[in-house]
Amino acid sequence: MTASKLSWVEYLSRIPRGMRIAMLVAIHAALFTLAYLAAFVLRFDFSIPASHMDAMWAGLLPMLAVKLTVFGAMRMFQGWWKYVSLYDVMALTRALLAAAGVWLALNVLVINPTSFPRSIYILDFVLCLFLIGSTRGGIRLLREMMANHSSDVPKVPVLIAGAGDTGEALMREITRNRNIGYRPVGFLDDAAYKQGLRVHGVRVLGPIDVLPQMAEKHGVQEVIIAMPSAERKVIRRVVDLARRSDITARIVPAFETVVEGRVSVQQVREVAITDLLGRAPVKLDTQAIGRFLEGRRVLVTGAGGSIGSEICRQVMRFNPDKLVLLDCAETPLFFIHRELKSHHANLEPCIADVSDAERMEAVFKEHRPEVILHAAAYKHVPLMEAHPSEAVKNNVLGTRIVAELADRFNANTFVLISTDKAVNPTSIMGATKRVAELFVRHMAHQSETTKYCAVRFGNVLGSNGSVIPIFRRQIKDGGPVTVTHREMTRYFMTIPEATQLVLQAASFKQGQLFILDMGEPVKIMDLARDMIRLSGFTEEEIPIEISGIRPGEKLFEELALDHEDLDRTEHKKIFAGEDCGELSPKILERLEKLVEQGQDGDDNGVRRTLRKIIPTYATEDATPDNVVKLAT
């Protein structure tokens, strides 16, 4: 940057630190003197008696010495060129009170002037607070005004939807950073009491419904949604109004806001389909999760998958002693290890198949995990319908091997990641996951050292098994977007929300089955329409086609069986299912037979045995017509 383009703030920043401190001390001394003399002038109505004039001049130097010493000791000569906030005003007040106390004690106990009015202390304090506070605030205001007017960055006129804490924080950052390319022209908020108010000098122009008129009036190009906890219908309304006004809708994501504890323009992004689900931010008992994970050796199976990799990211937040990432797919394992290795010194990637008992035993011997988060599973319903034996080997045998090793090696906790498709299953995938649940809950009664539990939830947006990537690719290819049935509905949550709640549920001391609150079910047809609109297209440009229900699919999913009475837990989004007890010898015998049939590749035998173990597994023939009848 050339010297001619340097701002006055940048010039000041280049002054040596010692010289800057000296300048600040001199400015404060001048303000202290001004406040002190003004206090005498006001006290005597602009006519100071001669008897008090001598006391005034005699007390000037002691006052300056005391205040400059106190301010120096309390580090008040630092960090005020650029910013000022309520915190700074409070710190200034404390420093002035301390200085006033020392000055009063010095005057009374040492100097003891008889003609020094006591009211001067109060007047001096008030005037000092006003002069120094207004000077600091004025410098910040002047800097921000000059920065915004002198910036070479093009400013995009924007509206901010939401005049709450998030909108205020966003506005504050935009105001103080001249390199941010936004120029807010107003806020929109449905709260009646906020209408006409100003936030950092920018007015609340009206409710959200006036967006089209305000966009046209002020030449707005974008609207930023700053309402992290807003309901789905509110965000959709803003998005629809923005689309009709031909402007871009962006959003401050709820998850980032909560996790990071701050709001930044860097977080602002275009509205995604996850935002239209309206999931409220998850509030966690981080202390309980910390006690559960901190300093522990943690093993995550299926660590390269979408759920497993996010579990690894969340676990890292709680400082485990060691994190073992296990997967049989080398490429995704390589990338999640590469992503996380700079954040944790003791990170171990392991290539292993959970259905390989010998290999898994070697992993347990080497790493001695204390917490096992078992996310490895085959999840794609149609594929598992075509390969039942493989589903059994991975979902049933793999779970049994890892669960039994957890007991043998005295692990503290074993957690199975389950699915709503395990409830009254109509698919091989759902039935095998139900068997895995039953075995894990059986182990809870068998083990004396390990706590076993399963956490059941529905579809996860953006996961490898989710419909979202499929829709996104179909839209990119120009359509059509295929939906299997007009009435198909599913429960959805985001990957971060699901994994956080898994860790929260696992931290509970009691319980064998935990079921996550998935909110309201969403129609897949509505999801497809939203994605088309968010991509900037209409249904005429990207048509939706009904492809028919695939083998094993339901029209809707359930989260609990009829006999599973749910109890509330410490967390409002986590429910506990009833204890199913130990498996009978007959069921254990059938489970052993199921595993043998899976290893032998006996697909028909697998289907027959699954029906015997899971009475609610209801598919006789995996045809669309039968699946529809069973699902409805």
Q: Are 580 and 511 in contact (CB under 8 A)?
A: no
Sequence-distant (≥ 6) Cβ neighbours of residue 570 within 8 angstroms = 285, 288, 508
**Coil vs helix vs strand at 88:** helix
DSSP string, 358-384: HHHHHHHHHH--SEEEE------HHHH
Q: What distance in Å separates the CA atoms of residue 560 and residue 145, rounded to the nearest whole number? A: 59
* 568 residue type, one letter: R
Q: What is the dihedral of CA 118, 120, 126, 131, to 10 degrees?
A: -160
5: annotated active-site residue? no
Cis before 480 (ω within 30): yes
Separate counts of helices (H) and strands (E) for the chain:
23, 22
Rounded to 5°, the CA angle 301-307-311 comes to 70
The DSSP secondary-structure symbol of 207 reads -
Q: Are 568 and 505 in contact (CB under 8 A)?
A: no
**Where do the DSSP E strands lie in 432-500?**
451-457, 459-461, 481-483, 489-490, 492-494
Active-site residue, from 322, 379, 393, 421: 421
Sequence-distant (≥ 6) Cβ neighbours of residue 483 within 8 angstroms = 524, 525, 528, 544, 545, 546, 547
**Coil vs helix vs strand at 412:** coil
Q: Are 401 and 354 in contact (CB under 8 A)?
A: yes
Q: What distance in Å separates the CA atoms of residue 320 and residue 291, rounded to the nearest whole number? A: 10
Classify residue 319 as left (phi > 0), alpha (psi -120 to 50) or beta. Answer: left
Q: Are 51 and 114 in contact (CB under 8 A)?
A: no
Rounded to 5°, the CA angle 443-448-450 comes to 65
Q: What distance in Å separates the CA atoms of residue 270 and residue 275, rounded to the nearest whole number? A: 10
Pairing outcome for strands 297-301 and 182-188 = unpaired
DSSP string, 60-82: HHHHHHHHHHHHHHTTTTSS-SS
| Helices 86-106 and 50-73, axial angle in degrees (round to 10) | 130
Sequence-distant (≥ 6) Cβ neighbours of residue 555 within 8 angstroms = 485, 487, 488, 489, 549, 628, 631, 632
Q: What residues are annotated to the active site?
A: 421
